[in-house]
Amino acid sequence: MASSDAVLEVEHLTMRFGGLVAVGDLSFACRRGDITALIGPNGAGKTTVFNCITGFYRPTEGMISLRHPSGATHLLERLPGHAITWRAKVARTFQNIRLFSGMTVLENLLVAQHNPLMIASGFTLAGLLGLPGFRRAEKEAVEKAALWLEKTGLVDRADDPAGDLPYGAQRRLEIARAMCTDPILLCLDEPAAGLNPRESLELNDLLLSIRAEQGTSILLIEHDMSVVMEISDHVVVLDYGVKIADGVPAEVRSDPRVIAAYLGVEDEEVEEVEAEVGVEIPA
């Protein structure tokens, strides 16, 4: 991929925890406007990669570049977490939902926009109370929240505490909250986990519409293969912290190394899997 097509480039990323190599010399790129899935068996290192991209971990080695449409490039491994959100414009959701459960649905979406509101206030009380710029920013924040309430089907629940929402609705609210920060790259950690089949289809539609209407690039970790195969443009497969496949969903699905990793077979048995699925391991 030409680097100008890439919104995210991960190069030679390594993350060690003491003696454990959670991610080892991993390189991959996400194309702008694509939905890229990062998959792999439990413990493969997927969340660790997300934590490195979003500033929760400082990688042991490697480079993570986020390129804006303007050409400006941010080296994420050098930025603190808040700059990754506000300057580089990377947003994320978590494997375990992390909403402000006592706040209303609407408040969750407004809190997400705290940073531009504070900038508009000039960080002063007078600014909060009187500056026209702040009032404009406040109006825009409410409008943006209303837009995402509508897109995620949560308008009727706007004034309810987020913690009272059904699980699937809380997952959608997390995505709405992330989108309120106007991300260039949206990182979703297992967005379909715990969803029923209908909610899972709704999630697919929501993510496809985010890509189509906002042009946001999406990187997702997902165990639900129906979601991965249905909506991804590109799939990267990790096993024991190492990339074992990288390609379009159809290629990856029939890759014997991927099948072997998911079935948990040893290296020597890969040829048997290869024979079973009728494809050859590339030399």
Ligand X SMILES: Nc1ncnc2c1ncn2[C@@H]1O[C@H](COP(=O)(O)OP(=O)(O)OP(=O)(O)O)[C@@H](O)[C@H]1O
Q: How many residues bind ligand X (CB under 6 A)?
A: 11
Place of tokens 């109370």: 129
Kind of pairing between the strands at 6-17 and 20-31: antiparallel
Provide the 10 A C-beta neighbour count for residue 115.
12
Report the residue from 43, 80, 166, 194 that binds ligand X according to the rule CB under 6 A: 43
Binding status of residue 47 toward ligand X by CB under 6 A: yes
Binding status of residue 96 toward ligand X by CB under 6 A: no
Measured CA to CA, the distance from residue 244 to residue 26 in angstroms comes to 10
Provide the 10 A C-beta neighbour count for residue 209.
11
Contact between 176 and 109 (Cβ < 8 Å): yes
In sequence order, what are the beta bridge partners of 218?
35, 186
Binding region for ligand X (CB under 6 A) out of 45-53, 102-110, 211-219, 258-266: 45-53
Contact between 223 and 46 (Cβ < 8 Å): no
Nearest approach, Cβ of residue 37 and ligand X (Å): 13
Binding status of residue 55 toward ligand X by CB under 6 A: no
Residues across the chain: 283
Report the residue from 7, 35, 48, 137 that binds ligand X according to the rule CB under 6 A: 48
Measured CA to CA, the distance from residue 222 to residue 204 in angstroms comes to 12
Nearest approach, Cβ of residue 43 and ligand X (Å): 4
Binding region for ligand X (CB under 6 A) out of 44-52, 169-177, 193-201, 244-252: 44-52
Report the residue from 26, 29, 44, 66 that binds ligand X according to the rule CB under 6 A: 44
Residue number with CB closer to ligand X (20 or 283): 20
Give the x-and-dash track for 3-42 against ligand X (CB under 6 A): --------------x--x-x-----------------x-x
Q: Tokens for 183? A: 């991300």
For ligand X, the binding residues (CB under 6 A) are: 17, 20, 22, 40, 42-48
